[in-house]
């Protein structure tokens, strides 16, 4: 009894600390819009930053053709292998986010993907909806997409913003609801798989390309998903090998302990072989994932994952895209090799809605 009460008190304390941290970050942002260093915990302004020290990273500037903007770390699920965890509650003001997106467009961005955390948590989906509309209507980007767990999406969102969205990717790691609960995708009485089918139907009705993302781990690696994937008929089925990132889901300062979810390369290959007849399958091993994504965090800093943890650049809002992207660790060749550039505008997909 006492242990349960203590556990609840600790949970409340963590939530309060996270909220205070987010408020402090927001205050620092408003007081010093040209410097993000104040909002970063543990950073002294008079000490040399990682940015100022000599780097071994590539000094050339790749083109940010496809960018993944994780504008929030907050999430209503607790997936045990998550590698972008709720370390802050900070979200940029809407106009600052738009400014950064316009800078990326100017630097050559063709595709923006909004992710988290859970993108639909912020203002009940209005924040991401406004960004989607801005990117399609004002920036005229060829492709605008979202990755979501789907639990908070309502039909009214499609009615308001669906026309501006090219692709909606829903995370689904299993078609066995007990496995989803075990992984951390359970949400009370809601059924994750039933909701997936509802979202699939809305995508048809509102002309949004439907995609599925699955993380293959120890709890679903033996599952046969052929029948269910073929029935849902997504434009792409992204299949990821469970990945460890120090400081996120591995190590002393991590909020998750994903080691128990890890599978071998051989196990991953066996899963792929079992589903080799699914034409929309796009496999991504740990090697392909680590360096082939351009990731922006909630401060619009590029995250370099080359060393097995996320090393942030300075914000593009402070130093510009060209200067910041040099420290992204982005492997443009691997991006192309893994099929990172594909037909990603729904206008070009010629889908039978």
Percent of the chain's residues with pLDDT above 70: 81
State the catalytic residues. Answer: 75, 79, 82
The predicted structure's pLDDT at residue 259: 87
Interatomic CA distance for residues 337 and 329, integer angstroms = 16
At 112-141, the pLDDT tens digits run: 999 999 999 999 999 999 999 999 999 999
- For residue 67, CA distances in Å to 9, 41, 44 come to 39, 26, 30
Concatenated DSSP letters of 60-116 = S----SEEEEE-----S---TT-SS--S------HHHHHHHHHHHHHTT--EEEEES
- Count CA atoms closer than 13 A to 48's CA, side-chain side: 5
Higher pLDDT, 153 or 21: 153
194 has a pLDDT exceeding 50: yes
Interatomic CA distance for residues 335 and 340, integer angstroms = 5
**Poorest-pLDDT segment among 87-91, 235-239, 271-275:** 87-91
Interatomic CA distance for residues 44 and 322, integer angstroms = 25
List the structure tokens of 317.
């809002």
Say if residues 22 and 298 touch (Cβ distance below 8 Å): no
55 has a pLDDT exceeding 50: no
238 has a pLDDT exceeding 50: yes
Concatenated DSSP letters of 273-318 = HHTTT-TTEEEE-HHHHHHS--EE-TTSEEEE-TTSB-EEEEEHHH
Interatomic CA distance for residues 24 and 269, integer angstroms = 45
pTM of the entire predicted model: 0.82
Higher pLDDT, 254 or 222: 222
**For 291, phi and psi rounded to 5 degrees?**
-115, 5
Higher pLDDT, 146 or 259: 146
Q: What do you get for the CA distance between the two ends of the chain, in Å?
A: 54
The predicted structure's pLDDT at residue 217: 95
């Amino acid at each position: 009894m006492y242990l349960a009460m203590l556990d609840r008190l600790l949970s409340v304390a963590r939530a309060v600390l996270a909220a205070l941290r987010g408020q402090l970050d927001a205050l620092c942002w408003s007081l010093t819009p040209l410097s993000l260093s104040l909002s970063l915990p543990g950073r002294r302004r008079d000490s040399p930053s990682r940015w100022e020290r000599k780097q071994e990273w590539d000094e050339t500037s790749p083109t940010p053709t496809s960018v993944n903007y994780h504008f929030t770390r907050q999430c209503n699920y607790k997936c045990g292998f998550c590698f972008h965890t709720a370390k802050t509650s900070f979200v940029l003001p809407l106009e600052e986010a738009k400014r950064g997106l316009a800078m990326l467009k100017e630097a050559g961005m063709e595709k923006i993907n909004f992710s988290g955390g859970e993108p639909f948590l912020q203002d009940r989906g209005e924040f991401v909806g406004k960004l989607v509309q801005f990117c399609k209507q004002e920036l005229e980007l060829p492709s605008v997409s979202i990755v979501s767990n789907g639990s908070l999406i309502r039909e009214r969102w499609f009615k308001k913003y669906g026309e501006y969205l090219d692709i909606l990717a829903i995370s689904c790691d299993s078609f066995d609801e007990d496995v989803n609960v075990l992984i951390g995708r359970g949400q009370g009485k809601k059924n994750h798989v039933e909701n997936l089918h509802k979202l699939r139907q809305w995508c048809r009705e509102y002309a949004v390309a439907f995609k599925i993302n699955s993380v293959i781990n120890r709890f679903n690696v033996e599952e046969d998903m052929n029948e269910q994937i073929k029935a849902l008929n997504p434009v792409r089925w992204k299949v990821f090998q469970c990945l460890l990132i120090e400081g996120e889901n591995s190590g002393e300062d991590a909020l998750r302990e994903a080691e128990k979810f890890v599978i071998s390369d051989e196990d991953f290959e066996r899963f792929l072989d079992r589903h080799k007849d699914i034409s929309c399958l796009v496999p991504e091993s740990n090697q392909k994932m680590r360096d082939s994504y351009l990731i922006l965090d909630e401060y619009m800093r590029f995250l370099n994952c080359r060393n097995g943890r996320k090393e942030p650049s300075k914000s593009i809002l402070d130093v510009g895209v060209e200067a910041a992207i040099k420290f992204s660790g982005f492997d443009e060749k691997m991006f192309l090799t893994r099929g990172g550039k594909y037909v990603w505008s729904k206008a070009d997909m010629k889908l039978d809605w």
